Each structure stands twice: as structure tokens, then as C-alpha cells.
Structure 1
């Protein structure tokens, strides 16, 4: 049978423990499988790189080098994208203008400006935990001013995004529609237990907080039980559910930015206008007739990343996507109306989508 959308899959595991053994995870690392022939997704990435040019790719390399060098105290800082403006004078000017528009006294404006300038002057090597309280106060005010014309509609990958990740990972299986149809179910109201609606769709790569890896691992386990008992429809259904949580961690807004200064995941930090604007951008650029055709990085991908531990795979996918958070957060907040035309936002998004497609292929191979 196929379970309804409100099932968690946990009782399935208990029911069938006596029927089959779950294959154990034999390692905690994933290795890239190398294809000799480039697939269409790789060629599409290279076309974007050609548009960026040598100077643009140097900018990409410099950005990733900076991200890799950031100390933990910066990575874990609330509203860390606000501090990242230290690398861009134009972004600094925009932030100062936002403060100028605050409905506070001139004295308070000067205090906020001086405090933020001090953060920029010390970024990244002289930031301390003592800066967290100031950033926790200023960050929401900056976001409110930057995005006041954009009410929240809802945050989640669109249905087509999740369905494509699961469907194309099945390598043409006759059961792939079961995976596709289940892949967006975890976003339905009531699917998660109370209090876990957003937590289970997140993994903070720096704080190591969130429920997505565990949910991916749990549904992978039930899918393996179905395979062992010849129930391939149900196996693909639960692969679709596991795929959802694995794919969530490939979104930079699902791998950074939703933990407060004390290390607590907060729904209000996750459900932000910038998050919603970014996911709307991805959805609007998913199809074949769009400018960036992000969906093609999924449908045309033939490569995989070997998965030997589903929970670790979700965490590793978050590690990958989180490196792009600072740049994307900054552009969405600085240019909420036009960030979609930024070539670097497109390139970083394409990299995250393709990496997630590879992990989904690896997860499917691990289960089936």
C-alpha cells in the first residue's frame, strides 16, 4: 500500500523490523563518481561560466576562498550576510541608507551606523561573540526596511522542484511516478509533528542544528525495507519523501541563517521575506522557457555522488549550499526587485541545484 501524506514512516519501521534487515551505512563520506563524457547539465554550467568570463570566474574563486577561510565565530554570527557587506562598498552604502530610513532618532541612527561600520572594519578576523547581540538587534531592522514592500507568501521549493529531483533520480524506473508524487508531500500542512514544521526542513551547516538529515535517513530506512520485501511502489514513495529532505539542504536558506545568537533554531528567522523571494526566483526560472532553466540541471544530469550514509549526505549537501548564503542573502536584501538578473546569483543557484541532483541520484542508488 501507499501511505497517506500525514504518515511519518516511523511506525512502518517498527511493523517490519521482523521482516527484513536494514542495510547498514558502511561509511560517512560521499565520493564523486567521475563520468568521462560531460552531460548536458555540465555543458550548461560551462555556458554560464563562459558568460561570466575570466574576470567573473576569478571573482567566484575569490568569494569561495573567503568563505572557506571564515572563522566559526563569523559563520555562526546572526545576520552574517550583513557583515559580509564589508567586502562591497556599494552594499555598505545601501545598508547605511536603510538605517537612515529607520523611524528612530538621529542619535540612534548614528549609533547603528557606527556599530555596523565597526563590524565591517573588523571583518572577518576580529569578529567576536560579543558582536552577536548588536547584529541580532540590527539585522531584523535592516531586513524590515529592505523588504517592506514584499509580504511573505510562503517558503518552500516549488512542487515541481521537489518532484523533479526525485523523478529524474530514478533513472527511468517504471516506478518513478511514485517518487515524484510523494516528493512534495512533506510541505503539506500537518505532515510534520507540531513544532517541527520548519525545523525538519533545515540543517544549519555551521551550528549543526536541524531535522532534515534525520528525516532523510528515516524515510531511506523504510524505503529499504520495502525493497527487501518486493514492495517497489512503496519503496519509491518513501524514496520521494527522503529525497525531499535531502533536496531541502541544497537550498542556502535551508542551510544557514535561521539560528539565533544562542544556537536556537527560530521559525521567524527561517520564514523570512528574503527566503521567499529567493525560492520564488528559483521557481520562476525552473522551466525550459526561462532564462536560466534551473530544472535542466536536474533533468539533464547523469552524474551522482555516492551515498553511503543518508544522514551524512544531507549534511554534506548543506555544507555545500551554505557557502553561497552570504552572497545570495546580500543581493536579495540589497536589490529585492532586481537580484534575479545577477549572474552570480544564477551561477551559485545552478551549482546548488546540480549538486542536489547528484546527491539524489546517489541516494536512489543506495536504496534501490
Structure 2
């Protein structure tokens, strides 16, 4: 039997327990309420995933798991996409056929075939830096042979479409958003960069930690903040557009991997390759039609918090770089038909959408 004193104590304990449990329940409700909102960009991603199906999504999961497990020596290898062909017998056969078409002696062809097969046999866990010189020799020849009959006109990340959209839609309807849009393409003009920095400043290798894009993003974000502090919003939005350009560049897998040679130097010719050009033409042609990659920008309402623009550009490169091997390989194997590869479309959509989120975060950071 409980006396009145004990009863009062029990009641107090019960009330205290109730008070402790209420915030927990409320927190749980808040968590449910803040579940990711399915904006138009998310719905488009889900539609692509449905198209790929369970088997396709499993392949993507396996690919990304492989990328996450790759040793640094593989990630930093010149023409790393060529080594990745080890995972695809059909791609290996195509590469060997390319070597058959080289304008070299039969002895040299056999040397190249044996060397490449040895790379594939040891991929990914037994690759060493000693393999870099061979890949640096063979890689350009493979790419040249693959694209010999596919001349391209350079289009850097879809001028007139991609960069203006990233900047414009990040401004969340601001009356000044057109100033950001109009400035966002300027860094791709030939007069904008000093000689020698034309490509370097649009790049950040996520594995070598090399390139000028993060610093350029940070610099223009800083001047944009100064304009904001002085009430000069036109200039602030113009410099945001410029900062956005460099942040967005690192969201392109060809701007975050594949342009560093065997000793860790950035090489213009590796960056401005035909594979790179063909991929950007692919994006340009599908920005407003087909995959409608622009819809992942205009339909995005989400933001990734930015507290350091330089780091944000690097983080965006970290996101995009793992997609490089697959995309490079598909472009190189099938310069005409890679455009119909659903996985290339999915990876591109993911990179575009992530970049849109970072641009929203950069705008919030500045303004």
C-alpha cells in the first residue's frame, strides 16, 4: 500500500518522465516534417532511377563502392578511365581493337597490348606508380584513335546555358538575378584569364588537390560580400555570378579528374581533350531537351550550406570526380552512341543537381 507521501513522490516522478518524453516525441515529429522535400529536381532523379530499374541501380551502387575503395595510386593514375576498362570485357575488346589500328609496328602493338592487359590483370589493388609512364604513353594514343573520325568544336560546360542557369536560379527570384546570369559566362571568354591559367583556373583535381577553381571562387565570393556590405547589389550579383562559374566547373567530372600527368602536373592538353569536348556537347544538346539537365537547376529548391567557398568548390569536385572513369570510358568506347547510355545520363544529372545545391548555398553565404 502506498501512503500519501509516497503517492506524491510517484506522481512527481511520473510528471517528470512525461516532461522528458514530450521533447523526444516532438523531436521525432520535427524530423519527419523535415524529410527531404520532393522538388521537381528530385522527382526527375527518381524518374531516372525508375528507368534504370533495380538491376541498373545495383550496378551504380557497385560502381560507386568501387570508386570509394580505389587506392590513391589508382585515382591519381594518368588515363585512369583506361585502367577502369578492366571491369568491362566489352570495353577491353574495343581498346585492343584501337591498338590494332595504331600506325606502329606489329611488335609495338603487341607491347601495348601486353602492357595494357597487365594493367587490367592487376587492377585495382596491385597498381603502382611505375605504371604511370606506360599509361601516359598509351592513353593519348587510345583517345586519338577512338576519336579520329569525330572532330569536335570546343564547348566549355555549355556556354549560354549552363553557367547562366546555375547563377540565375540560385538567386531565388532576386530582382538582381539577371546581373548574376549575365556575368556567369565571362570566365570562359578568352580575354578573362591570364595566359597560362586559361584552363588551370577552371579545374580542381579531387585526388591530386590541384587546380585554381577553388581559389577563384573564394576570391569573387569575397569581393561580392564587400559589395553587399556597401549596398552595391548590382556588383555583388555580378561577382556572385563569377564565383558561381568556378564553383560550377568543379561539378563537371572532366573538371575534377583526368588532367594531371604522371608526376602530378596539370596538363592543358589532357584537360582540353576530345573526350571532354564530346561530353560537354552532350550536356549542351540536352540542357533543355531530352534529359533536360537544365531542369535539375531550375527545379531545384534545396541548398547545401556554404561556410567557405573555397572548400565548397573542393567538396563539389569530391562529389563529381568518382563519375569520371565511367563517363570517360563510355565516351571513348562509343563516341557516337554513348549519348544513349542511361547511366551517363544519371551521373550527369546527379552532378548538375549537386552543383545547383552548392550554388544556392553560395548565394546564401554571400547575400
Output the TM-score relative to the length of structure 1: 0.90
The residue that corresponds to 1:131 in the other structure is: 131
**Which residue does the alignment assign to 1:160?**
161
Cα displacement string for residues 186-243 of structure 1 (whole angstroms, at most 9, x for unaligned residues): 0011101111000000000000000000000000000000000000010000000000
Report the counterpart of residue 108 of structure 2 in structure 1: 108
**Residues 1:347 and 2:357 aligned together:** no
CA distance in 1, matches of 2:176, 2:35: 26
Q: CA deviation at 1:151?
A: 2.3
* Deviation per residue, 1:50-87 (Å, 9 max, x gap): 00000110000000000000000000000000000000
1:89-100 equivalences in 2 (<5 Å): 89-100=89-100
Q: For the pair shown, which has the larger CA radius of gyration, 1 or 2? A: 2
The whole-number CA distance in structure 2 between the counterparts of 1:246 and 1:37 is 24
In the TM superposition, residue 35 of structure 1 has moved relative to its aligned partner by 5.4
Can you give the 5+ residue segments of structure 2 that lack an aligned partner in the other structure? 1-33
Q: Which residue of 1 aligns with 2:62?
A: 62
Q: Matched residue of 1:323: which SS? A: helix
- How far, CA to CA, are the matches of 1:35 and 1:307 in structure 2? 20
Higher relative contact order (CA 8 A, sep 6+): 1
Q: Is the 8 A contact 1:202 1:255 kept in 2?
A: yes
1:37 CA drift (Å): 2.3
CA-to-aligned-CA distance 1:223-277 (integer Å, 9 cap, x gap): 0000000000100000000000000000000000000001000111111101000
- 1:157 Cα offset (Å): 1.1
**Aligned residue for 1:72?**
72
Matches within 5 A, 1:309-328: 309-328=308-327
Aligned to 1:242: 243
For the residues of structure 1 that align with 2:78 and 2:113, how far apart are their CA atoms? 17
Number of the residue aligned with 2:299: 300
Residue in 1 that maps onto 2:50: 50
Post-superposition Cα deviations, 1:111-134, rounded to whole Å, max 9, x if no partner, equal 100000000000000000000000
Partner of 1:180: 181
Structure in which a larger fraction of residues adopt helix: 2
Residue-pair matches, total: 333
The yes-or-no answer on 1:275 pairing with 2:276 is yes
TM-score computed with the length of structure 2 as normaliser: 0.90
| CA root-mean-square deviation | 0.8
C-alpha displacement of 1:150? 2.1
Q: After TM superposition, give the deviation of residue 145 of structure 1 in Å.
A: 0.3
Helix, strand or coil at the partner of 1:324: helix
Structure 1 match to 2:197: 196
Structure 1, unaligned runs of 5 or more: 1-33
Q: Do 1:155 and 1:275's aligned partners in 2 also have CA atoms closer than 8 Å? A: no
Shift of 1:153: 1.6
**Which portions of structure 1, spanning 4 or more consecutive aligned residues, are displaced by more than 3 angstroms?**
none
- How far apart are the structure 2 equivalents of 1:156 and 1:296? 19
Q: 1:66 to 1:36 in 2, by over 3 A?
A: closer
